[in-house]
Structure 1
C-alpha cells in the first residue's frame, strides 16, 4: 500500500534537479584545480616574466616617442605639401593633434593602443590596424620560415661535424660556415638573385604572392628572402652547436657513463650531449630574434616584400609617426616574448630552473 505522501525517486528525471553532494564536489574539484594551477612553478615563472615584460615594452614605447619627437622635419608640412601656406600647415597640425603637448599625445596614443585604436597613417590616411593586417603576415612568414631553415640546416650539419671532430665533414662544415658568415645578408640576397633568378631563372627576383593565391606560388616568392635571412643564422648555429657538442663529448661525465653502459655513438650524441647543448642553442635563438627582425628591414627592400620592415622604413622617411611607433613596438614585443619563450623552454628542459633551485 502506498502512503498519502509521494516519495521522489532520485533516478527519475521528472523529479527535478538534485541539491545533493554532486555540485559541491564539482565546485571543490574546480577549486582544487585552480589552486594547483596557481601553485605551478612553471606558471609562476611565466607570470614573473610577463610582469617584467610589461614595463620593458612601456619603456620602449616612451623611448620611441621621444626619438620621433627629436627627429628633424615637420610631419604636418609633409602632409600638407611643400607649397602649402602656413595656415594650411597649421590646420593639418591641428587635425593630426600635433598642436597638443607631447606627454598628452603619448598618453592619447597609449590609451588608443590599449583600446585597439592605433590611429591613422598621416601619409595614406588608412587606419594603422589595416596596414598591420596587410603587412604583419608577410614579415611573420619570412621570420618563421627563416628559423625553420636555420634549424633544418644547422642541426644535422652540426651533429655530423661533431660525430668525428677533425674529420673531412667537420673541416668542410667549418670552412663553409665561416665563408658564409663573412657575407652580409644583403650581399647574400643579391648573390641569390643573381644565381637563382638571373642565371638559372628558377625563382622570381622580387615580389610577393599571398598564401591565398596558392601554396606553391607563395613559397616560390619567399624562398630567396628566406634563404638570405636563414643561411647566416644556420651557419652561426652550426658552428656554435658543433663546438659545444665536441666539448660535451670530450669532458662530460654523463657521456662517459652512457658509453660505459653500452650506448652507441649516435645515441650518446643525440640523447645525451645534444640535450645539454640545447640550452646554449636556445640562448642564441632568443638573442637572434631581434637581429633577424632587423634583417627583414633590408631584405624586404631588396626583394620588394610588402612586410613590416618596408612599412617602417617608408614611415620613417615620411615622418609617419603613428606607423613608426607601432612598428617599433611590435618588433620589440616579438623580441621580448621570444626571450620569454626561451625562458619557458629552459624550465621545461630543466626542472631545477622551474623550481628556482638553479
Structure 2
C-alpha cells in the first residue's frame, strides 16, 4: 500500500472475501476487484493490506459545503432546505465525461485536506441549521463504511441523509448502504449497454437493479438524473425507451432530471448540450407519462418548476435553485385541487436559496 497512507487511514473495510489463489476479492461493486497485498481496487480508495481490505479515505474529505437541496438535485425532498455536502476521492466508474473529475479521478491524497469524524459532521450540520447531509461529489458507494457511520450520527440528531450515486453496487452492500439513506439521486447515465461500457467502463444492468431495489424494497425517496451528451445518449429513441422503462419499472412519480453537459475531462471535443435538446427530452418524458421532469445545468424556469400532475398548477416555481413561489400544503398536497404530490415535505417557512457556503469542520469538532 502506498507510503502516503499511514496506519490512521487504514480503516477496516467490509465486503470482501479470500480467494483460493491467495488474492482478496472486493465484493462491494460489480467490478469484483481481485487484489494481491499492497494493491488497490479500481476505485483507488479500497485496497489490500496484509490479509484484509481497508478503506483509505475514512474520515477524510475533499471539502464541505452547505448547498440548497435542489443542487443535488432533489426537487421533491424538503424543497428549499439546506444540506451539508461532502465527498472524498476516487470512484468505481471511469466516466470519460466526469464533471467532478479532479475529485473522483484523484490519485493524490492532497485532495483530502479536511478531516472529520462522523459525530463532528452531524454536529456541524445541526449547528448550521441543515435539514440533511449529502454524500456527493464522488460516489459514496466507495466510502460506504464512512458514509454509513456518518448517517448513523446524523439520524441520532434528527438529520436526514442523501446519497448522490451512480448506483453501481452489489446486492448485499446495497441493502446495508441504502438502509441508512433517506433519499437518493441516482445517475442513470444512459439507456444502452454500449454507452455504459465505452463511456463509463461499467454495465447498465446493475444500475437498473439498484433502481428497482430502491423503488420497490425501500422507503428511500428516489430521483434520477441523466446528463445528456450530444451524439452519445440524447437521441429521441433512447430517451423514449428510458422513459418507458422508468414508468413500467419504477412508476410515473419518480422525478427525472435531464442535465446539460459541458465539455470536461476526456470529452472536451463535444459541444455543450443545447437547451433545445433538454426541452425535447423533457417533453418526450412527459408525453410518455412521467409526471415530474426537470431540466438541470441550464436556465429554464418551466423546466425548474414542479407542476401538479392533476390540475396542472404551478406548485414550486424555481429560478435556478431559488424558489420564487411555493403552493404546497405542509403534508404535500396541491393548494388548488388537493392532489397528493409525490415527495417528502413539511411546512414551508422559507428557503436557503441559491447560495453555496464552504465550511471547515475540525476532526473532532
Q: TM-score, normalised by structure 2?
A: 0.20
Higher strand share: 2
Structure with more relative contact order (C-alpha pairs < 8 Å, separation 6 or more): 1
TM-score after normalising by structure 1: 0.20
